[in-house]
């Protein structure tokens, strides 16, 4: 596994204040961040809460795009973004996205480590394209997804150790939903997130992921992976139950959205090789309502 470089409290590099060529702009990342994360429940949040959440989503997308899509020296971009996180929390950030997020980050006490874990996930993406075990994949999700949930809890002044533990399970489940929706797309980019131990267990070869339609063995494997993700999302009911007001509605929206995504994968017949099955807005809203009922 790639080194995560998050053990220390400060950056190990001293990058120039000017950004390296190719760092995605705020205009590049925010439309995608909003489209991917803005749930129905988000409409009920205060303006300050929406702005803080969109800043978090935008940062995650900024790091993803710098690590996955940007042309140029991606490692230099990630190092510069890491340094700009330090400036956001205790100085004057350079990137416009971090400048807009800085007031909320300081007021709400966002932990630096959460941002560094997101960056570490994208450093890992530069070196790792296969996962041998589910434990390895879950450790990756702990870098790539779980910090977002922790930061969301900080937005709602609800970040306790127990809630963060539950949020970690939910966020790993949400990350798995994305992976299982995008099996074909990821394979086309040279990445496989299905653990090798699971491919072997179900008798699925890598070549099966390049097919136009899923084989019966792959469908059985994906049914197993979807159920694994659903079990993780079940922790969200307890998390929602522990919250109140707008936080309760927002987190229910995330859990409901994940459940609807898994439902869409199943309803497609696990047809995830050519296109990514997506839940409709109505399906996400209905699933969110069911989460709120369960959490009463």
Tokens of 29: 């990342």
Query: pLDDT digit string (tens) for 233-267?
Result: 999 999 999 999 999 999 999 999 999 999 999 99
Mean pLDDT within 38-56: 82
Q: What is the CATH number of domain 26-127?
A: 1.10.600.10
Q: How far apart are alpha carbons 277 and 267 in whole angstroms?
A: 9
The answer to whether the CB of 176 falls within 8 A of the CB of 229 is yes
On the 0-12 / 13-18 / 19+ scale of CB atoms within 10 A, 122 is: buried
Tokens of 116: 């560094």
| CATH 3.40.50.9100 given to domain 129-296 | no
Instruction: Confirm whether pTM is higher than 0.85.
Output: yes
Query: pLDDT digit string (tens) for 205-220?
Result: 999 999 999 999 999 9
Neighbouring CB atoms inside 10 A of 160's CB total 10
List all residues 6 or more positions away from 152 whose beta carbon is below 8 Å from its beta carbon: 53, 56, 167, 250, 251, 254
* DSSP percent split of the chain into helix, strand, coil, nearest 5: 70, 0, 30
Q: How many CA atoms lie within 13 A of 155 on its CB side?
A: 27
Every domain of the chain with CATH number 1.10.600.10 lies at 26-127, 129-296
């Amino acid at each position: 596994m790639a080194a995560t470089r998050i053990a220390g409290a400060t950056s190990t590099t001293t990058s120039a204040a000017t950004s390296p060529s190719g760092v995605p702009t705020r205009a590049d990342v925010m439309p995608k961040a909003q489209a991917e994360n803005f749930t129905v429940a988000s409409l009920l949040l205060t303006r300050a809460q929406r702005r803080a959440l969109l800043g978090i989503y935008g940062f995650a997308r900024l790091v993803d795009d710098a690590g996955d899509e940007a042309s140029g020296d991606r490692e230099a971009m990630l190092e510069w973004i890491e340094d700009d996180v330090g400036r956001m929390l205790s100085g004057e950030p350079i990137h416009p996205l971090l400048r807009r997020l800085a007031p909320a980050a300081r007021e709400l006490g966002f932990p630096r480590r959460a941002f560094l874990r997101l960056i570490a996930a994208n450093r890992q993406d530069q070196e790792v394209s296969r996962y041998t075990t589910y434990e390895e994949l879950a450790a990756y999700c702990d870098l790539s997804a779980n910090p977002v949930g922790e930061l969301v809890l900080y937005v709602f002044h609800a970040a306790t150790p127990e809630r963060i533990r539950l949020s970690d399970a939910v966020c790993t489940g949400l990350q798995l939903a994305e992976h299982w929706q995008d099996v074909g797309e990821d394979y086309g980019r040279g990445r496989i997130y299905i653990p090798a131990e699971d491919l072997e267990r179900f008798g699925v070869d890598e070549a099966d992921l390049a097919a136009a339609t899923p084989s019966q063995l792959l469908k059985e494997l994906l049914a197993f992976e979807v159920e694994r993700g659903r079990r993780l999302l079940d922790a969200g009911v307890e998390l929602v139950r522990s919250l109140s007001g707008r936080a309760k509605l927002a987190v229910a929206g995330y859990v409901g959205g994940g459940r609807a995504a898994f439902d869409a994968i199943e309803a497609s017949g696990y047809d995830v090789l050519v296109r990514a099955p997506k839940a409709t807005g109505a399906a996400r809203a209905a699933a969110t309502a069911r989460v709120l009922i369960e959490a009463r």
